[in-house]
Chains A and B, each alone.
Chain A
Amino acid sequence: MTDLLAIGTRKGLWLARSDDERRTWTLSEPHLLAQEVAAVSIDTRRPQPRVLAGIQYGHWGPTVMWSDDLGASWEETDHGAIRFPEGEDAALARVWQLRPDSPERADVVWAGCEPHSLWRSTDGGCSFDLVRGLWDHPHRQTWEPGGGGGAVHTVLPDPASERVTVAMSTGGVYVSEDGGTDWQPRNRGISAGFLPDQEPEYGQCVHKVAVDASGPDRLYAQNHFGVYRSDDAGGSWTSIADGLPADFGFPIVSSPHDPGTAWVIPLVADMQRVPPDGRLRVHRTRDAGGTWTELGTGLPDGNWSAVMRDAFCADDHDSTGLYFGTRDGCVYASADEGDTFTLVADHLPDVLTVRAARLP
């Protein structure tokens, strides 16, 4: 059994492997060196796992590349996997999210991009079509860019229905129940302290959303101020931030197996995006946000870095593995649901995205 960890950074992609039940990791040489890799996925639905990377050539523009041999070679589509149709007067700025759909939809891959747009591939990520329903939504012109740019950064297709949930900074949470044609904002209860109306219908800066293991209707959101849970597929949200040292942060990760279990990595505030007191810590809930436990074994004090929204993920082992990377280029892994962490890599460029998978 081999576990693979893909680490996308501002200046390249690294692949770490573990062949000893996630006890130790071996880091590869850099792939796509000097290219920003802001989105990565490991598609294990295929006979040969496909690593997909949303890259940005510093001068030469963004695109999607893929490798079917674990990084030995990379391919891209001649005309670009993601390109706005003629007449839209828009150009792809960055790929923020690559999300393979369910095994039943074997070649479907979703991409969330900047400018705010959602894309769907039916050929495993080699080419994508613009999801018109969201692009043509009348709200789109009001979605402002967050500090990192205006993007769809979270895409959550429900494997059992036609529901697709996206999150945007800014814009907030939108849900389609028909595979992407019609979209409704679902942000009631989520604050937007940067707007005059602090609980608008839409326009929130939701940093990340995760689906609970209990089913598609229970969601968690790490907001730009606020950690929330919804029990009705985003119809309403309630705060679950009590018990955390701060309610600001970027990522939120849920357990693939255990209902009610999720993890966050708090930062002090939007004007102070560092761990509280310089203590890099993961916080875990086992009761859907009712209580939180600080997890710090193996994590550093004196750390003034941050973890970006896509730089935290879980694997699907029975004992859930957690992986996150920091802006100062450190990557930590836990094979015991966060009880203990070990350092997988350090001195990498800023870590933007991580994904883990068991190789077949």
Chain B
Amino acid sequence: MTVQVLLPGALAGLAGGAKHLDLEPAGGTLADLLDALAAEHPMLCRRIRDETGQVRRFVNVYVDGDDVRFQGGLTAPVRDGAEVQVLPSVAGG
């Protein structure tokens, strides 16, 4: 299966400047997708999830437009052909 990951500009530099990545996760969950991302771009993936595997507090991930926090988090299903968008949340000071 192939999944397209959309990155914000702030993270594109860690993917060689690409804002779109096509990944082939081994399974059909968000955790599987992030594992595939970590294998190719470890520094980029570290910006999105911490060492426990959890998505960082101020990072939002949407699978086909749905916030994964309401779709099971790391177990959120990611279908073949899905579009997964990573965005920084509204935070700071």
**Contact A61 B89, beta carbon cutoff 8 Å:** no
Most A CB contacts (10 A, CB to CB) among B10, B48, B50, B56 go to B50
B69, CB-defined interface residue at 8 Å? no
Given A59-B58, A79-B42, A90:B91 Cβ within 8 A: no
Indicate whether A189 reaches chain B with its CB closer than 8 angstroms: no
A78 within 8 A of B: yes
Q: How far is the CA of A63 from the CA of B51 in the complex (A)?
A: 11
Contacts of A84-98 to chain B: CB distance below 8 A: 84, 86, 89-92
Task: Compute how far the CA of A60 lies from the CA of B47 in the bound complex, rounded to whole angstroms.
Answer: 4
Residues on A with C-beta less than 8 A from B92 are: 58-59
A60 proximity list for chain B (CB < 8 A): 10-11, 46-48, 56, 59, 88
Is A57 part of the contact surface with B, judged by Cβ < 8 Å? Answer: yes
CB contacts between A and B, total, < 8 Å:
48
- A80 to B89 alpha-carbon distance, docked (Å): 22
Chain A interface size band reads 10 to 19
Residue B43 interfacial (CB < 8 Å): yes
Residues 16-73 (chain B) with a chain A CB within 8 angstroms: 42-43, 46-48, 50-52, 54, 56, 58-59
Give bound CA distance, A60 to B60, whole Å.
11
**A87 nearest CB neighbor, chain B only:** B52
Query: Do residues B42 and A59 form an inter-chain contact, with CB atoms below 8 A?
Result: no
Whether A76 is near chain B, meaning CB under 8 Å from some CB there, is yes
Query: Are B52 and A80 in contact, with the CB atoms below 8 A?
Result: no
In the assembled complex, 7 residue pairs joining A and B whose CB atoms fall closer than 8 Å, in A order, are A58-B91, A59-B10, A60-B47, A61-B47, A61-B56, A79-B42, A91-B54
A287 to chain B, nearest CB (A): 43
Interface residues in chain B, defined as those with a beta carbon under 8 Å from any beta carbon in chain A: 10-11, 42-43, 46-48, 50-52, 54, 56, 58-59, 88-89, 91-92
Chain A residues with Cβ under 8 A from B48's Cβ?
Answer: 60
Within 8 Å of chain B (Cβ to Cβ): is A83?
yes
Q: How many angstroms from the CA of A192 to the CA of B19 in the assembled complex?
A: 52
Tell me whether B88 and A59 are in contact (CB under 8 A). Answer: yes
B46 to chain A: closest residue by CB:
A80
A187 to B88, CA, bound (A): 43
Contact status A59-B56, CB under 8 Å: yes
> Which residues of A (31-81) have their CB < 8 Å from a CB of B?
57-61, 63, 76, 78-80
Nearest Cβ in chain B — how far from A137, in angstroms? 21
CB-defined contacts of A92 to chain B, threshold 8 Å: 50-51
Once bound together, how far apart are the Cα atoms of A78 and B54, in whole Å?
18
List of A residues within 8 angstroms of B56 by Cβ: 59-61
Q: Is the CB of B91 within 8 A of A61?
A: no
Instruction: Name A10's closest neighbour in chain B (CB-CB).
Output: B93
Nearest CB on A from B14, distance (A): 9
CB-defined contacts of A61 to chain B, threshold 8 Å: 46-47, 50, 56
Q: Which chain A residue has the least Cβ–Cβ distance from B49?
A: A61
Give the residue name and chain of the B residue nearest to A85 (CB).
Answer: B51
Residues in A neighbouring B42, C-beta threshold 8 A? 78-79
Interface mask (A109-150 → B, CB under 8 Å = 1, otherwise 0): 000000000000000000000000000000000000000000
CB neighbours (8 Å) of B58 from chain A are: 58-59
Please determine whether B91 and A91 come into contact, CB atoms closer than 8 angstroms: no
With A60-B59, A90-B52, A91-B52 as known contacts, state yes or no: A78 contacts B89, CB within 8 Å. Answer: no
B47 and A80 contacting across the interface, CB-CB below 8 Å: no
Chain A minimum-CB-distance residue to B56: A61
Residue of B nearest to A60 (CB): B47
Chain A residue at smallest Cβ distance from B60:
A59
Neighbour of B43 across the interface among A59, A76, A91, CB < 8 A: A76
In the complex, A145 Cα to B74 Cα: how many Å?
Answer: 28
**Inter-chain contact A63/B52, CB cutoff 8 Å:** no
- For B59, list chain A residues within 8 Å (CB): 59-60
Bound Cα distance A328, B82 (Å): 47
Q: Contacting A57 at CB < 8 Å: which of B47, B52, B54?
A: B47
Shortest Cβ distance from B69 into chain A, in angstroms? Answer: 15
Distance, CA A59 to CA B49, complexed state (A):
10
CA distance A59 to B11 in the complex (A): 11
Q: A59-B89, A59-B91, A60-B59 are in contact. Are A84 and B43 (CB under 8 A)?
A: no
Task: Give the CA-CA distance A331 to B91 in the complex, in Å.
Answer: 28
A315 CB to nearest B CB, Å: 32
